[in-house]
Amino acid sequence: MGAVAMTELKIGDTLWCFDENTRKYAEPTPEEKARGKMWGSIIYREHFTETTIYGETRGKWLVRTQVGGHQSSVNKKTLQEQRGRYVPVQYFTPQGMENNIWLHEHRHKLIEALRHTPADLCRQVAEVLGYDPGRP
């Protein structure tokens, strides 16, 4: 979730809600404009909306959005809000949000880089990750 243990959170702290319906687009590049594209790609960071913890129950944080004042309750252990039968909405500490953004922006690039990495370097990466080729 983040660098903060869930027990360290308190009323007044900020949590960031990942909302896939909140979108902001980058300006299109000159090449995209030449192809007639009106907007660039989605800015991943803009999916996050800021909330503040304003109260608590035994198992939940009560949060309120900075804009609009929407209120929600977030599970203290998982930092998730269940909305009906849908996939739970994930909340993050500020550090957790930065970690999520970093992984989103770089994990796939690292995977692609490994595809073109010599065997000796791949073995070193495997060792750092604790990967055991003998385990299924």
Q: Which residues contact 67 (CB under 8 A, 6 or more apart)?
A: 49
Q: What is the mean pLDDT of the chain?
A: 88
pLDDT over 60 at 100, yes or no: yes
CA distances from 64 to 9, 53, 58, 91, 133 (A): 15, 7, 18, 12, 47
- Residues 29-74: pLDDT tens digits? 888 888 888 777 788 898 899 999 999 999 999 999 877 788 999 9
Band (pLDDT 50/70/90 cuts) for residue 6 is low
Band (pLDDT 50/70/90 cuts) for residue 3 is very low
CB 73 within 8 A of CB 62: yes
pTM (2 d.p.): 0.76
CA distances from 27 to 30, 42, 50, 66 (A): 9, 10, 23, 26
